[in-house]
Copies of this chain bind each other. A is one copy, B any other.
C-alpha cells in the first residue's frame, strides 16, 4: 500500500492539477470549488437527492445560524462540538445579546422546529434532509474535501413513533447506501462504533468507512440512532392513538464532500484521477486529430459527434484548443475523463471513431452508425468495472487475525469480548482504531483477542484518517 506521506503529497498535488478546488483562498481550510470540482460534487448530490426523494424524504433548508441557547440544550452534543464552532458575536456595529454559532451539524437548528411540526402520530414518520454548508474549526492539518473548516454536507433527520420504527429507518438507510455506492463506485464497510467513539448525543453510531490506498480508513458518512436522546431536551412529542404524549425516536444520516475525496483517492493512477462515468463532469472528450487539409471537415465531424452524444444525455466535450493531441490526452487523463474519442482523417475515411478508456487504457473502434449505443455501452462498462476493481481491492485488504501482533495494513477482523478495557488494549497495542462491529459480519465462534473470553462478536480494526 502507499506510504501515507507520499500519498498525501500526491493527493494535494492532484487536486490542484486536476482543477477540482483552489486552496489559495485566504482562510485556511476553506477552499474555492472550481467549476470542474463543483460539477462532480453536484452530480454526487443529485444521486443522493434521487435516493432520498425516492424514499419519501422531503428536502428542506434550515438557517445556518443557531442561537447559543438552543445549542446548549443537549449536554453531550455541546461537549462534542463546543470546541470547534465559529461564533458570531456582532452584527453591524452591535454586539448581539445572544451569541450565534455557525452550524457544525443541524440537530440544534432543526429540533426546536420539529417540536412544532410534530403533533400527533399522523405526522410521523417525519423524514427530511438538507444539503448545506457546515463549519468546524478543525485544528488538525486541513486537506481538500477530506478535512475542511467549511464543509459541503448532507444530513437526513427523521422522527418516529418508537425505537422499532427508527430501526426500520436505519435499515432503509443501509439499503440507500448500498445503491449509492454502486453509482459512486465507492466500496465501504459499515461498522457499529464502540461506545466511546459514537456521535455526540447518539444512542449508537454506524460509521461508513472507505479504505484508502494507504491502508487507512476514511469515514465518509455515518448513520445514527438517537433514540429519545434529543427529543427529550428539545421536547419533540406526539399524541399517540390513545391520547398519550410520547417522545419521538430519531435517526440521522450524514455524508459530506469526503465522498469526493475518497473517489479521487481510490480511483487514480500515475496519469491522474479516474472519475466514474456517473460522476464525471465530462464523460467523453472528443479530440480532433488534425491534418492541414482536412482541418475544417474534422472539426465539423467532431462537433456533430458531440451534439449527437449530448442529445442522448452523454456529457461530451470537444477539445478544439490549439494544442498537440498528445498534450490534450495528457490533460484529460489527468482530469479523469472516463472516455476519450479520437477522430482523424483515417477514422473519417473508414467511417469509425477511435476510443480510449481511461480506466484500462484499452483502445477500440466504433462504427459511425452505432456511436450512440457504443459510447453508452462503454461508459456503463467502465462504471461497472471500476466498481468491481476497487471493491475487490478493498476485500483483499480485510484480514482475519487471531493475535494482536499479527495485524496488517488494511482492515483487521478480530474477536472482541465487548469489554471496554480490552477494546482500549487493542487500540493501544495495534496503534489502530476499532471501527466497530461490522453490520455485515457473520457471527464467529472465538475468544476475545485480548482476554480470551468466549465471544461471537467480530470487530474491524484499522488505522484511520
Q: Determine if A22 is an interface residue (Cβ-Cβ < 8 Å).
A: yes
Q: Determine if A451 is an interface residue (Cβ-Cβ < 8 Å).
A: no
**Considering the complex, which residues of chain A in the window 48-99 have a beta carbon less than 8 Å from any beta carbon of chain B?**
58-65, 67, 69-70, 82-94
Choose the segment among A27-35, A155-163, A189-197, A346-354 that binds chain B (4+ C-beta atoms closer than 8 Å).
Answer: A27-35
Q: Determine if A430 is an interface residue (Cβ-Cβ < 8 Å).
A: no
Docked-complex contact B150 and A63, CB < 8 angstroms: yes
Interface of chain A: mostly helix, strand, loop or mixed:
mixed
Docked-complex contact A59 and B39, CB < 8 angstroms: yes
Docked-complex contact B91 and A85, CB < 8 angstroms: yes
Docked-complex contact B89 and A87, CB < 8 angstroms: yes
Docked-complex contact A63 and B100, CB < 8 angstroms: no
A281 to chain B, nearest CB (A): 10
Please indicate the chain B residues that have their CB under 8 angstroms from the CB of A32 in the complex.
Answer: 60-63, 113
Please indicate the chain B residues that have their CB under 8 angstroms from the CB of A102 in the complex.
Answer: 88
Q: Determine if A402 is an interface residue (Cβ-Cβ < 8 Å).
A: no
Q: Determine if A365 is an interface residue (Cβ-Cβ < 8 Å).
A: no
Please indicate the chain B residues that have their CB under 8 angstroms from the CB of A133 in the complex.
Answer: 64, 133
Report the separation of the CA atoms of residues A137 and B33 in the bound assembly, to the nearest whole angstrom. Answer: 26
Please indicate the chain B residues that have their CB under 8 angstroms from the CB of A116 in the complex.
Answer: 22, 24
Q: Determine if A42 is an interface residue (Cβ-Cβ < 8 Å).
A: yes
Docked-complex contact A58 and B30, CB < 8 angstroms: no
Most B Cβ at <10 Å: residue of A60, A69, A83: A60
Please indicate the chain B residues that have their CB under 8 angstroms from the CB of A24 in the complex.
Answer: 113, 116
Given contacts A24-B116, A113-B22, contact A137 B63 (CB under 8 A): no
Docked-complex contact A87 and B85, CB < 8 angstroms: no
Please indicate the chain B residues that have their CB under 8 angstroms from the CB of A120 in the complex.
Answer: none
Please indicate the chain B residues that have their CB under 8 angstroms from the CB of A100 in the complex.
Answer: 27, 86
Report the separation of the CA atoms of residues A314 and B406 in the bound assembly, to the nearest whole angstrom. Answer: 59
Please indicate the chain B residues that have their CB under 8 angstroms from the CB of A10 in the complex.
Answer: none
Report the separation of the CA atoms of residues A39 and B60 in the bound assembly, to the nearest whole angstrom. Answer: 8
Given contacts A34-B60, A59-B38, contact A87 B91 (CB under 8 A): yes
Please give me the residue from chain B that is nearest to A25 by CB atom: B63
A70 to chain B, nearest CB (A): 6
Most B Cβ at <10 Å: residue of A24, A25, A94, A128: A25
Chain A 10-40 near chain B by CB (<8 Å), digits 1 or 0: 0000000000001011110011111100110
Docked-complex contact B63 and A42, CB < 8 angstroms: no
Docked-complex contact B84 and A87, CB < 8 angstroms: no
Most B Cβ at <10 Å: residue of A32, A112, A135: A32
Docked-complex contact B113 and A62, CB < 8 angstroms: no
Partner of A92, one of B22, B31, B58, B83: B83
Given contacts A26-B67, A26-B70, A26-B112, contact A61 B87 (CB under 8 A): no
Partner of A30, one of B63, B69, B87: B63
Report the separation of the CA atoms of residues A112 and B150 in the bound assembly, to the nearest whole angstrom. Answer: 18
Please give me the residue from chain B that is nearest to A62 by CB atom: B32
Docked-complex contact B30 and A59, CB < 8 angstroms: no
Docked-complex contact B92 and A90, CB < 8 angstroms: no
Docked-complex contact B35 and A128, CB < 8 angstroms: yes
Please indicate the chain B residues that have their CB under 8 angstroms from the CB of A22 in the complex.
Answer: 113, 116-117
Partner of A65, one of B30, B63, B70: B30
Q: Which 3 A-B pairs have the closest CB atoms?
A: A35-B58, A33-B61, A30-B63
Instruction: Known pairs A65-B86, A87-B91; list 16 more (Cβ under 8 Å).
Output: A26-B67, A26-B69, A26-B70, A27-B63, A30-B65, A32-B61, A32-B113, A33-B62, A35-B60, A38-B59, A39-B59, A83-B93, A85-B92, A89-B90, A92-B139, A133-B133
